[in-house]
């Protein structure tokens, strides 16, 4: 018989403090950066004891890492749920699947939502080698790439399975670029609209995936 986990008031209280600290970390770190935010500021924003950061996370650095891990996990789980919903629809298409994954991410960053701000900061911190991405990204990212690859193969089964990981990496790169350069897009593209960017990305990635699956001399499926 499966056991049922019962949370005590103490458990709920601990989770509430942890959530408040993570919320305050997202707000303050995204506004000021890691070095310019003190533990005192974090705990004041979270309305908790100054010792709470060390008690619940071990250090300010570990709170910073957990902030990224929470948002990253939520994003990947959302993508996985989206992919499963699309694949459950017998009339789904490659473009429909790509749009369902791309649009929430691009809307999040274009609307400057907190989750988008955290992911933008994460990408920059990884690029600047200020944090180790392995404890944050490895397990969930591997799982996401695996499921995304299976979804792509369902719509374009001609792609060799040994090539699918590189295809998913390339797709991920297309989505990540706007996280870093959305302001540049808005300033440099006449008549820029987020909806048009999303449709361009969907069309561009779908064409690339189908082209990659074509025989050598037509789409480059034998390259690499």
Q: What is the pLDDT of residues 12-57, one digit of tens each?
A: 466 789 999 999 999 999 999 999 999 999 999 999 999 999 999 9
> How far apart are alpha carbons 212 and 160 in whole angstroms?
10
Domains by residue range for the chain, with CATH: 8-58 (1.10.10.60), 65-213 (1.10.357.10)
Give DSSP secondary structure letters for 103-154.
HHHHHHHHTT-HHHHHHHHHHHHHHTTSS-SHHHHHHHHHHHHHHHHHHHHH
* Predicted local distance difference test score (pLDDT) of residue 20: 96
pLDDT of residue 215: 66
Q: What mean pLDDT is predicted for residues 77-105? A: 93
């Amino acid at each position: 018989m499966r056991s049922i986990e019962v949370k005590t008031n103490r458990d709920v209280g601990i989770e509430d403090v942890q959530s408040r600290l993570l919320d305050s970390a997202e707000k303050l770190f995204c506004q000021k950066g890691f070095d310019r935010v003190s533990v005192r500021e974090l705990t004041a924003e979270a309305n908790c004891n100054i010792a709470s950061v060390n008690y619940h996370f071990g250090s300010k650095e570990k709170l910073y890492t957990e902030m990224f891990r929470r948002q990253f996990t939520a994003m990947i789980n959302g993508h996985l749920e989206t992919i499963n919903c699309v694949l459950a629809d017998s009339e789904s298409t490659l473009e429909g699947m790509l749009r369902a994954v791309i649009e929430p991410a691009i809307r999040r960053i274009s609307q400057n939502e907190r989750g988008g701000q955290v992911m933008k900061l994460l990408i920059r911190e990884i690029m600047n080698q200020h944090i180790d991405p392995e404890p944050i990204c490895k397990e969930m990212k591997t799982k996401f790439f695996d499921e995304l690859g299976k979804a792509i193969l369902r719509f374009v089964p001609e792609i060799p399975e040994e090539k699918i990981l590189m295809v998913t990496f390339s797709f991920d790169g297309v989505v990540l670029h706007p996280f870093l350069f959305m302001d540049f897009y808005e300033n440099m593209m006449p008549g820029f609209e987020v909806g048009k960017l999303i449709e361009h990305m969907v069309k561009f990635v779908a064409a690339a995936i189908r082209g990659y699956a074509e025989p050598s001399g037509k789409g480059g499926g034998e390259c690499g």
